[in-house]
Amino acid sequence: MTPLALHPDRYFDPSTRKIARDLYEGVCELPLVCPHGHVDPALLAQNERLPEPSTLIVRPDHYVLRMLYSQGVPLEALGIPVVDGGEAGRAIGGDPPVETDPRAIWQRFAEKYHLFQGTPTRSWLDYEFYETLGIRTKLDDHSAMRIYDEIEEKLATPEFLPRALFDRFRIEVLTTTDGAADSLKHHEAIRNADWNGRVVPCFRPDALFNIASPDWPAALRELERAVGEEIGGYRAFVAALENRRAFFKTLGAVSTDHAVLEPYTHRLSEREASALFEVALRGLASAEDRQRFEAHMLMEMARMSVEDGMTMQIHAGSFRNHNEALMRRCGPDMGGDIPVRTEFTRNLCELLNAFGCDRRFRLILFTLDEATYSRELAPLAGHYPALRLGPAWWFFDSIDGMRRYRRLITETAGIYNTAGFNDDTRAFLSIAARHDLARRVDCDYVAHLVAEHRIDLADGREMVRAMAVDLARDAYGL
């Protein structure tokens, strides 16, 4: 079996390695600020033994799923349950059974582990194995069962309970992502527990803005249940959203999140918004109606953020569930989200003219379209006081993607108009790995600035500390 080792200078350019190492040593032990992610709060509320390795490491990570799927591994073979086995199953070429043996899933994953060579997923996973789980053997088809058993043995110990890992990772704050009508019962349980870990919700009302979706009536009913009254019109709808934002804040929420295909913003009149809401109540809303209503509600979310102080996030440019047959068969969030070209300057003009100079407002933008970094996003963030740029997201939260992000953004917006780093993961064990990789890449980038005498070493140390913790604390009011 092949030994697993992590080089202490990984991701550092040999020509500036000494400087990068100096910078990294100043930030590697800092706490982790995690202002945006998708970890299930039940994990920390219940604080029970983590699931076996395939459920813990393979199934919740869409990076893992999409790579294996792209190489012909059916998601059912990885234990992903079937939502619809009818037409959807035939549409993707058969009806494979869902694997129920976790060891078989792990073995299949191990046999395909070479597919991740050179990817950030491999970097994260190797860190998880070596640093978090103490594995000293490379994962492959021969070592799979030995590593599985070693992980299982460790997961049975108190040191690997979720709260113990939270403390071991030095997580200062962890933000989850929660639907607008969520009861937040797990957050309440964490608040009342004999534990001082800080876990806070994030308000995400996307399902309530997509008035053309067949799921919208159910989402509206959930909101009615959450506020305890019928929502018969637009004014009551807005009041219910304000009510829920206030409730989220009582449990520590500092942010909202909005996933949109395009970041189009436009304020409707009260009469226009009410008319669209009435059309939605009758089940007649079109795609164009949805676009107009969503654009208006983004303006409303910005207005509410000015009033209640919650940081507003917009994640734009993801064509969700592009593989329709896979989505129908296995559900959403299975790695089928694909980037699209995105425009910000015109789309955000109305919102930024209304709120972009208001010191009470904070907006963080995320994109999957790298072409917008230097053309639009950096100039926008370099001008509007309310605006910050989120870190490289999804397909670009990689070693090279983060480097490109820094190169394209910094010369126009600097680093202090960015929001630091967030892990954006539902795979709990990967949090420390993702932060470590980001810190190393940022130290490598800043080391080049020092080596080229654009800044001195003292400035470099200040910059990497800001990138590691201070920018995220500031952007999210933490």
pLDDT, tens digit, 9 for 90 and up, residues 329-355: 888 877 788 999 999 999 999 999 999
Averaged pLDDT score across all residues of the chain: 95
Fold (CATH) for 14-48+161-475: TIM Barrel (3.20.20)
Distance CA 195, CA 166 (A): 11
**Which residue bears the tokens 């870990």?**
197
pLDDT, tens digit, 9 for 90 and up, residues 60-84: 888 999 999 999 999 999 999 988 6
Distance CA 202, CA 178 (A): 6
The answer to whether 265 and 350 are in contact (CB under 8 A) is yes
The answer to whether 107 and 144 are in contact (CB under 8 A) is yes
The answer to whether 306 and 274 are in contact (CB under 8 A) is no
- pLDDT number for residue 327: 84
Distance CA 288, CA 394 (A): 28
Crossing angle of the two packed helices 457-465 and 431-451, in degrees rounded to 10: 160
pLDDT band at 89 (very low <50, low <70, confident <90, very high): very low
The answer to whether 420 and 414 are in contact (CB under 8 A) is no
How far from the centroid of its chain's Cα atoms is residue 310's Cα?
18
pLDDT, tens digit, 9 for 90 and up, residues 262-287: 999 999 999 999 999 999 999 999 99
Closest CA to 428 of 246, 169, 177, 189: 169
pLDDT band at 326 (very low <50, low <70, confident <90, very high): confident
Please name the CATH architecture into which domain 49-160 falls: Orthogonal Bundle (1.10)
Kindly give, in sequence order, each residue whose CB lies less than 8 Å from that of residue 18, ignoring residues fewer than 6 positions away: none
Distance CA 427, CA 437 (A): 16
Closest CA to 304 of 296, 384, 176, 377: 296
CATH code 3.20.20.140 region(s) in the chain: 14-48+161-475
How far from the centroid of its chain's Cα atoms is residue 389's Cα?
14
What's the pTM?
Answer: 0.95
Higher pLDDT, 87 or 226: 226
- pLDDT number for residue 92: 46
Whether pLDDT at 157 is above 70: yes
Distance CA 280, CA 218 (A): 12
Closest CA to 263 of 139, 94, 104, 380: 380
CATH code 1.10.2020.10 region(s) in the chain: 49-160
